[in-house]
Amino acid sequence: MYFIGIDLAWSEKNDSCISTFQEDEFIEYKFLKTNEEIVRYINSFDNGKIVAIDAPLIVKNKTGLRRCEKDLVKFFRRYKIGVHATNLNRLKTYGGERCLQLAKMFEKYGYANTPNITRNDKINAIIEVYPHPAIVSIFNLKERLKYKSKFDREIRLKNLDLYSKLILSLANRDPCIKVPKDILNKNLENLKTSELKRYEDLLDSIICAYIAKLFWYYPEKCIVFGDDSTGYIITPSPEAGKSILSFL
């Protein structure tokens, strides 16, 4: 099986990061722009792919939050995790419809877009995931990591470094993924703001791929918020990460 994570950019004008694993072995990561490039790249791998995408894949509501977002926020509120409201009006206003178009492209190639995946070695599927609650759950953290650009540089660097170490620790988990140390052992102090953004996207795409593998092997360790009618988000349960000590 291939487990592929996509940190999808809001617009095709910007790079999206894709990280690919075959079982626990890291294959490569790529930065691609258009939906066509992304689908063509992922289709280059053999059948048997779970593609976890950090972006809304099913949106039916015109305003407000999707039910899956409301339920997720309620569940993870104690971890200081929120969401950006996803609705059709917002996607149209800000040009974010590319995520729905991408989902339709995958579906045309026979990819299932549902949390109700039937175990089959030849299945191809896309699933919607969300890194923030996943990071908290997988690593048994007390609250979300502050690694996004809205935080000041010192806090961001500290948490990006922690995020990197947490990802490297997945080599010792069940299920595991093995990320080469030379990809993540960077001197973050020397990176420009734009380079930090690309590094952040890489880390998020890796954690998306890990969610795909965890959901494939241990669906009971994950929570599905919502459904494939109104929209869904898959994330590991906090119970899944309680077997290791917090790094905080």
Tens-digit pLDDT profile for residues 164-222: 999 999 999 999 999 999 999 778 988 898 999 999 999 999 999 999 999 999 999 99
Quote the percentage of the chain above a pLDDT of 70: 96
Q: Over the chain, what is the mean pLDDT?
A: 93
Whether 194 contacts 217, CB under 8 Å: no
pLDDT tens profile 104-162 = 999 999 999 999 998 887 899 999 999 999 999 999 999 999 999 888 899 999 999 99
In the chain, domain spans: 2-241
| pTM of the complete model | 0.94
Query: Which range, of 39-43, 51-55, 77-81, 150-154, averages the lowest pLDDT?
Result: 150-154
Question: Average pLDDT, stretch 89-109?
Answer: 91
The Cα 44–Cα 77 span in angstroms is: 40
Q: Residue 106's pLDDT is what? A: 98
Measured distance CA(111)–CA(123) in Å, rounded? 8
Pairing between β-strand 222-227 and β-strand 231-236 as defined by DSSP bridges: antiparallel
Pairing of strands 49-53, 2-7: parallel
Phi first, then psi: what are they for 126, rounded to 5°?
A: -115, 145
- Which two tokens mark 10? 């809001």
